[in-house]
Amino acid sequence: MTLVYTVQILGEYLLFRDNFKDVYLNPDFAIVVKGLLIVLALIPFQAAAEEFLLRGYLNQALIRYLKNPWVVFVLTSAVFALLHIVNPEAKGQEIPYLIAIFSFGFAACILLYYEGGLESAIGFHIANNIFAFSLFGYEDPDFPNIAVWNTGKPEIDFMGTLTDVFAIIMVVLLTLWLNRRVKFTPRGGLV
């Protein structure tokens, strides 16, 4: 996940250098370390809870009535997006933001569908949130800037959303490919 996002950001930097004029290295290393510790302690629980609620319980509840998993995935991904609409970065740029969040939720559903469990979706969500909060974040007036790199005020446009969707697709494909290549034995070893 981090590798794909890093490649995405480097590609964007090479193609659209002007978009990075406000990006800066966080000068407060102590807050970065404290923030990382907090993020590593809390994000797994937050991300797993969202996945259990939406990709687990809500998907299972809706599939009883709708029968088509893809319709269920669209609905639960829409709920996932709407839950994030109150995030401060969405203000004034709701449509591209909702598209990106919906795509993320739908990607998690695809992982669930093809993997047969929530593990990959939870890992995907955790990796995304750790990246967003710890490595490449944005300025939020309500919270301290804890990421290593900060982008200033978040500006979410359709081009950025397209690159995010592309990165999400690449992560899903890479995850599915890797999970089929590396097999785990019941005793926890690799085959």
Residue 189 lies in a domain: no
Closest CA to 84 of 58, 102, 71, 59: 102
The predicted-structure confidence for 23-76, as pLDDT tens digits, reads as follows 888 888 999 999 999 999 999 999 999 999 999 999 999 999 999 999 999 999
- Say how many domains are in the chain: 1
- Tell me, yes or no, whether 188 lies in a domain: no
Provide the mean pLDDT of the chain.
Answer: 87
Q: Rounded CA gap, 153 and 139, in Å? A: 5
Q: Which tens digit of pLDDT belongs to each residue from 85-118?
A: 998 888 889 999 999 999 999 999 999 999 999 9
Does residue 185 belong to any structural domain of this protein? Answer: no
| pLDDT at 191 > cutoff 60 | no
**14 belongs to a structural domain:** no
Question: What's the maximum distance between 2 C-alpha atoms anywhere in the chain?
Answer: 53
Model confidence band, residue 187 (pLDDT cutoffs 50, 70, 90): low
CA angle 129, 71, 160 (to 5 degrees): 40
Flag whether 50 is in a domain. yes
What tokens does 51 get? 């996945």
Check if the beta carbon of residue 1 is closer than 8 Å to that of residue 127.
Answer: yes
Q: Which two tokens stand for residue 45?
A: 């629980």
> In terms of residue numbers, what domain contains 106?
23-172
In a domain, 7, yes or no: no
Residue 5 CB-density burial (10 A; 0-12 exposed, 13-18 middle, 19+ buried): buried
Across the range 141-167, mean pLDDT stands at 84
User: In terms of Cα–Cα distance, which of 120, 112, 135, 129 is closest to 171?
Assistant: 120
